[in-house]
C-alpha cells in the first residue's frame, strides 16, 4: 500500500511540474479573479478568497459561546478559542479568536507544505533518502515501528510519519532538509503574509484564526498547486489522533483532514485540533485551541470533541437530508 501511494504521488508531482516555473519564494504577478470553483478533485475546491462575510447560516455561535463559558467557569479549561468557517459561502465566526497559543505539532502542516512546494519545483527531491542521525525534540508516544537511529528512510515515508503519527523525529529531518532550499522566514512570509495570515515568528505563538488559514489555502489551492494541495489534504485525513474533532463528528462516512498539537510546561497544558470537516457538499473549517492545567489532558480532549459535536449537529440539522 505504501509503495502504491508513493508511486501515485510521484506521478502527481511530475505531472504538475510543467505548470509552475517561478522561484518558490517569488510572489507571482498573476492574480486569480475568478470566483468559480474548480471541479474534479476530492479534497480541494479552489476559489478566490475575497474575505467577504455572507448572510449567516442559522446562528449557532451562541450555543458554542454558552458551552465555552460553562467550561471555563467550572475550571475545566483556562482558555478556549474557536474558529469556524463555512467553505462554500465564506461565513465564519470566531470566539476568543485573538488569543495566542503555542501551535506545537500543528506546525508540521506548514513544514509539509514547504516540502511539497519544493517538490513542485524540483520533482527529484521525492527520490531522496534521509539518514536518521540527529534527534530533534522528543517523541511522546511508543510506536513499534518508530525510526531507528542510523537508518535511512525514503523522504516521502518521513513526510507520512510526520503527519500521520505526528513524529517529531521525522519532522526534524524534513525541516532540516527544507533548509537546503530556503530559510524559514522566506517560507513563512510567503505562506502567511501573502495569504492573509499575519506575519509571525515561525516558532512563536499563533491565533486560532491565523492557523486555520493553512487549511484555507490548502483547500483553495492558493499556495501549492492543485495536485499538491490534494495530496496534502489526503495525507491529513490519515492523522491518527481521533480524540478531538473526529470524536465529536462520530461519523465514519465524514472525512476530516486535520492536525492536532499539544504543549506541556511546568504550569499548563495546551491541546488543539484544527482541520476541514468534509460534510457532504457543505465542508467547513473548525479550529479549536485550548489551555488548561497540567493533567487536564482528558478534559481538554472532551472540550474539543464536544465543540466539534455541537457544530456538526447544527450543520447536519441545517443541511442534512430532510
Q: What is the DSSP string of 42-93?
A: SS--------PPPPPPS--HHHHHHHHHHHHHTTS-SEEEEEEEETTT--EE
Give ∠ CA 182-185-191 in degrees, rounded to 5. 90
Q: How far apart are CA 289 and CA 100, in angstroms?
A: 9
Domain assignment of residue 193, yes or no = no
pLDDT in tens, 247-297: 999 999 999 999 999 999 999 999 999 999 999 989 999 999 999 999 999
Domain assignment of residue 77, yes or no = yes
Count of domains for the chain: 1
Cα 123 to chain centroid, rounded = 23
What is the number of other CB atoms lying within 10 angstroms of the CB of residue 289? 30
Q: How far apart are CA 170 and CA 121, in angstroms?
A: 22
Average pLDDT of the chain to the nearest whole number: 83
How many Cα atoms are found within 13 Å in the side-chain-facing hemisphere of 272? 33
Q: How far apart are CA 206 and CA 237, in angstroms?
A: 23
Q: How far apart are CA 238 and CA 47, in angstroms?
A: 25
Domain assignment of residue 154, yes or no = no
3-state DSSP call for residue 286?
strand
Across 43-57, 141-155, 222-236, least confident range: 43-57
Domain assignment of residue 251, yes or no = yes
- Reference 76, options 311, 308, 267, 291; nearest CA is 291
DSSP 13-37: HHHHTTS--S-TTS--S------PP
Q: Could you tell me what percentage of the chain is helix, strand and coil, using 3-state DSSP and rounding each to the nearest 5?
A: 40, 15, 45
Domain assignment of residue 216, yes or no = yes
Mean pLDDT, residues 221-236 taken together: 95
User: Does position 27 have pLDDT exceeding 50, yes or no?
Assistant: no
Which residue range is the domain that position 253 belongs to? Answer: 48-103+206-322
CB 147 within 8 A of CB 132: yes
pTM: 0.84
Greater model confidence, 34 or 248:
248
The confidence score (pLDDT) of residue 4 equals 43
DSSP state of 144: T
DSSP state of 122: -
Domain assignment of residue 135, yes or no = no
Domain assignment of residue 187, yes or no = no
DSSP state of 137: S
pLDDT in tens, 150-172: 999 999 999 999 999 999 999 99
Q: How far apart are CA 277 and CA 83, in angstroms?
A: 13
Domain assignment of residue 63, yes or no = yes
User: Does position 31 have pLDDT exceeding 60, yes or no?
Assistant: no
Q: What is the CATH number of the domain that holds 269?
A: 3.40.710.10
Amino acid at each position: 500500500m505504501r509503495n502504491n501511494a508513493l508511486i501515485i504521488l510521484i506521478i502527481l508531482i511530475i505531472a504538475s511540474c510543467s505548470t509552475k516555473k517561478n522561484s518558490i519564494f517569488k510572489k507571482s504577478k498573476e492574480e486569480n479573479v475568478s470566483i468559480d470553483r474548480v471541479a474534479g478533485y476530492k479534497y480541494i475546491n479552489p476559489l478566490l478568497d475575497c474575505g467577504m462575510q455572507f448572510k449567516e447560516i442559522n446562528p449557532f455561535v451562541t450555543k458554542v459561546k454558552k458551552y465555552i463559558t460553562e467550561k471555563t467557569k467550572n475550571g475545566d479549561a483556562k482558555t478556549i478559542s474557536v474558529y469556524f468557517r463555512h467553505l462554500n459561502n465564506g461565513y465564519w465566526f470566531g470566539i476568543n479568536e485573538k488569543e495566542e497559543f503555542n501551535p506545537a505539532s500543528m506546525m508540521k502542516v506548514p513544514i509539509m507544505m514547504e516540502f511539497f512546494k519544493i517538490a513542485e519545483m524540483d520533482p527529484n527531491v521525492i527520490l531522496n533518502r534521509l539518514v536518521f542521525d540527529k534527534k530533534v525534540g522528543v517523541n511522546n508516544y511508543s510506536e513499534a515501528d518508530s525510526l531507528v537511529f542510523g537508518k535511512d528512510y525514503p523522504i516521502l515515508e518521513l513526510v507520512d510519519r510526520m503527519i500521520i503519527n505526528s513524529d517529531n523525529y521525522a519532522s526534524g529531518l524534513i525541516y532540516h532538509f527544507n533548509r537546503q532550499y530556503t530559510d524559514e522566514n522566506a517560507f513563512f512570509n510567503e505562506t502567511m503574509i501573502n495569504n492573509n495570515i499575519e506575519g509571525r515568528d515561525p516558532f512563536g505563538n499563533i491565533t486560532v484564526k491565523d492557523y486555520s488559514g493553512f487549511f484555507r489555502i490548502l483547500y483553495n489551492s492558493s499556495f501549492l498547486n492543485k495536485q499538491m494541495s490534494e495530496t496534502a489534504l489526503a495525507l491529513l485525513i490519515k492523522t491518527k489522533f481521533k480524540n478531538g474533532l473526529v470524536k465529536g463528528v462520530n461519523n465514519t462516512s465524514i472525512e476530516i483532514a486535520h492536525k492536532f498539537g499539544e504543549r506541556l510546561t511546568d504550569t499548563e497544558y495546551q491541546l488543539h485540533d484544527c482541520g476541514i470537516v468534509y460534510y457532504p457538499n457543505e465542508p467547513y473549517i473548525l479550529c479549536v485551541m485550548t489551555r488548561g492545567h497540567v493533567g487536564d489532558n482528558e478534559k481538554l480532549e472532551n472540550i474539543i470533541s464536544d465543540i466539534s459535536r455541537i457544530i456538526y449537529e447544527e450543520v447536519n440539522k441545517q443541511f442534512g437530508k430532510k
